[in-house]
Amino acid sequence: MRHIYFDHASTTATDPVVANAMLDYMTTKFGNPSSPHYFGRQVRKEVVDARQQLADLIGATADEIFYTSGGSESDNFALKGIAFANQKKGNHIITTQIEHHAVLHTCQWLEKHGFTVTYLPVDEFGLVSVEAVKQAITDKTILISVMFANNEVGTIEPIVEIAALAKEKGIYFHTDAVQAVSHVPIDVKAMNIDLLSLSGHKFYGPKGIGALYIRRGVKIETVQHGGAQERKLRAGTENVPAIVGLGIAAQKALSELKTEKNRLESLRDKLIQGIEAKIPDAKLNGHRLQRLPGNVNFSFRFVEGESLLLTLDMKGIAASSGSACTSGSLDPSHVLLAMGLTHEVAHGSLRLTLGRENTEADIDYMLEVLSEIVARLRSMSPLNEEHTTGIMASEGKTYQKANG
């Protein structure tokens, strides 16, 4: 069966060039870069070079990059590290209702440990209001954390404005850019970002590695205690193969950023327009323009998300409903609810996230398959009596026979 992967926001395949480079650092150049001997020396320079490659992708300097095990750790590190290091200054944190759970659950934990957190609402497009951020600031506010782009609906937040505001008020600004890095241009210096989280496996790099950018001069404490690695801010033997891999992935992402952004945006818009043209009662979730290049998110009235995914899967199409990271839970997406969708409609959301290997042909196939599936599921839905009647007219004979 032909398999089409439309779930790049969940994870991506490691680039073969990245993977092959890693292989070498696993089996041959396997040393610990902290070791004062040949095997340590063999990898020391690579770690330095990779740090620079990653720094280049976001406009940072190499010594502002701190490796972590992924986006979740970066978020935990940023929030807890800033909170505990600046407790004397204040105990108030501002974030939004649509953050990833790595931010939200960390904030909830901090609330149990002496901090107060404001969770700002968003509008129907998933946008945070800069004015609302301004209103929420108190003299106890030490950190504002707003994601660069949302992982479910792809909305790109007004980071530049919020960061400028934070700078003006002398408050640290953190952004979870796990979904944005490599897909949209980011320059932490120009954008006044103090801390930025990223994750390797979201842009064809290795799994199990991420980074936190920490602007020079930011007061933060370590969150993973132990050895003196990462200039004493993050303990644990360096994951050299992954560090090397992340560097290569960053370099490739930077070199392709512009063309890939354009390509994905046009595929994305073709898919959005195609769905809107072919499927009635399809609601685009997220912002139509301030949107990640590869993100498409729709709710189809009267259709439940999992049955949609399941049927797509049977046709070889991999998609997601809500966040892959929140599966294991059965609650509908907190992001869609925050945007004002009802439980029912939130359950019926479909997220398609495009990436490097997707083509026009994939989009055409998807459009063909999707409209059939939605029609079929709607015909089975009790929420859809009117529509059903319409459809049943054509299927009337079957029903008569069964009844007769």
Partner 1 sequence: MGASDYNEKVLDHFANPRNVGEILNADGIGEVGNPVCGDIMKIYLKVENNIIEDVKFKTFGCGAAIATSSMVTELVKGKTLEAALDVTNAAVAEALGGLPAVKMHCSNLAADAMHEAIKDYMEHHKK
Count, residues near a copy of itself per rule CB under 8 A: 85
Q: Give the up-direction half-sphere exposure of residue 350: CA atoms within 13 A in the CB hemisphere.
A: 32
CB-neighbour burial class of residue 207 (10 A; exposed 0-12, middle 13-18, buried 19+) = middle
Query: Quick one: what does residue 224 bind among ligand PLP, a copy of itself, partner 1, none, with the CB cut-off 5 to 8 Å set by partner type?
Result: a copy of itself
Partner whose footprint covers residue 3, from partner 1, ligand PLP, a copy of itself, none (CB < 5 to 8 Å by kind)? a copy of itself
103, 303, 350, 352: residue in contact with partner 1 (rule CB under 8 A): 303
- CA 173 to chain centroid, in Å, comes to 18
Q: Which is nearer to partner 1, 114 or 316 (CB)?
A: 316
Cα-flanking dihedrals φ and ψ of residue 195, to 5°?
Answer: -140, 140
d(CA 347, CA 222): 39
For residue 164 the two structure tokens come to: 């400028």
Residues sharing a CB contact under 8 Å with residue 368, sequence separation 6 or more, in sequence order? none
Q: How far apart are CA 343 and CA 37, in angstroms?
A: 60
Nearer to partner 1, 116 or 379 (CB): 379
Q: Report, in Å, the least distance between residue 297 CB and partner 1.
A: 17
Contact partner at residue 382 from a copy of itself, partner 1, ligand PLP, none, CB < 5 to 8 Å by partner kind: partner 1
Amino acid at 101: H
Residue from 327, 342, 359, 398 that binds a copy of itself (CB under 8 A)?
Answer: 327
**195 neighbors 82 (Cβ within 8 angstroms):** yes
C-alpha to C-alpha distance for 126 and 281, rounded to whole angstroms: 20
Q: Is 107 a catalytic residue?
A: no
Please identify which residue in 330, 386, 394, 401 interacts with partner 1, judged by CB under 8 A. 330
Instruction: Catalog residues that contact ligand PLP under the rule CB under 6 A.
Output: 70-72, 75, 100, 102, 147, 151, 176, 178-179, 199, 201, 210, 236-237, 325
Which member of 52, 116, 224, 388 binds partner 1 (CB under 8 A)? 388
CB nearer to a copy of itself: pick between 69 and 299: 69
152 binds a copy of itself (CB under 8 A): no
Q: What is the DSSP string of 309-349?
A: HHHHHHTTEE-BSS-GGGBTB-SPPHHHHHTT--HHHHHTE
CA dihedral (112, 69, 94, 166) in degrees, to 10, reads 140
Closer residue to ligand PLP (CB): 110 or 373: 110
The stretch near a copy of itself (CB under 8 A) out of 57-65, 160-168, 205-213, 338-346 is 205-213
119: exposed, middle or buried (Cβ count in 10 Å: 0-12, 13-18, 19+) = middle
For binding to partner 1 (CB under 8 A), which residues are involved? 34-38, 40-41, 44, 302-307, 309-311, 313-314, 327-328, 330-332, 343-344, 347-348, 379-384, 388, 392, 395, 398-399, 402-403
Residues labelled as active-site residues: 325
